[in-house]
Homo-oligomer: A and B are copies of this chain.
């Protein structure tokens, strides 16, 4: 048995109706809804076939049909574009160029959640191909040295170092020059043990300062270790009965609170090189444990060369995919443009 054109049309009608109403769809509804002019009995026969093909399911014997994951997948891949969406008024998306990145991203998440009425996440950009740009040691207190490390992409890392006894300005200058001449322009891979040893030797009694700085450099470069993720709209889970029984809600909320659990999503997204921009995970396809009953739609944005982050929406499988994709694209474009100018 094949998915011929008529079955395809019927399936499409079922899914669209279900997305609108959230209720299982019966044969009579489809018989009226489509312009196929078929009786409900015929539709019933076709529905039985579609069920056999795995595109739809029956929650119980005497209920209508709902789409299966396979059905949703077909919808997202093939049917979605075809529907000419009425241009709908959308709350203006506006991102002020805030100087604080964290505020900006938090704001972005909030906006996504408000506009879509689903839960939203935004990951802070990951910095790749990081090279050391600049190191600066300064005396702050008698026995405290501040090391400032700037890497490509203008990520800044501060590290306070305590020294046993005061350093003269001259010594400090020497150390500054030592560190900068040896390390500037290098990537993590290029900094090797031999180099470090050589520097330590040159630093003499101040080798522990060199060690501290190297340590801070390492941390600044592998900043992705503690990937920041901002979320918003957790309460929207409650809008969809299929997600809001205690057990499920509890799991979803925990996942959303312990944001590290969402990092899979970010990894997955960034890893995908030939990423067209939008990725859809339906039900079991999700890389995040505890969200098997949801659909997740993500997009990757790029703030600056190599600074990529992920934005995403989590909602019920019967989410309004068009709206979600539209919102994500809009935000992605705004973020892409933000620092490009």
Contact A136 B148 (CB under 8 A): yes
| Contact status A257-B232, CB under 8 Å | yes
Q: Which of A20-28, A68-76, A154-162, A281-289 forms contacts with chain B?
A: A154-162
A153-B334 Cα distance, complex, nearest whole Å: 38
Docked Cα-Cα span, A244 to B154, in Å, equals: 45
**Which residues of B sit under 8 angstroms from A136, Cβ to Cβ?**
136, 138, 146, 148
**What range describes how many residues of A lie at the interface?**
20 to 34
How far is B138's CA from A150's CA once the two chains are assembled, in angstroms? 11
- Copies of this chain, complex-wide, total 2
Q: Which residues of A contact B (CB under 8 A)?
A: 100, 102-103, 133-134, 136, 138, 140-141, 144, 146, 148, 150, 154, 156, 158, 160, 226, 231-232, 234-235, 238, 244, 246, 249-251, 253-254, 257-258
- Of the A-B pairs whose beta carbons lie under 8 Å apart in the complex, a sample of 26, sorted by A's number, is A102-B226, A134-B138, A134-B140, A136-B138, A136-B146, A136-B148, A138-B148, A140-B154, A146-B150, A148-B148, A148-B158, A156-B158, A156-B160, A158-B158, A234-B234, A234-B253, A234-B254, A234-B257, A235-B250, A235-B251, A235-B253, A235-B254, A235-B257, A238-B249, A238-B250, A244-B246
Per CB-CB distance, the 4 closest pairs between chain A and chain B, nearest first, are A235-B250, A156-B158, A136-B138, A235-B254
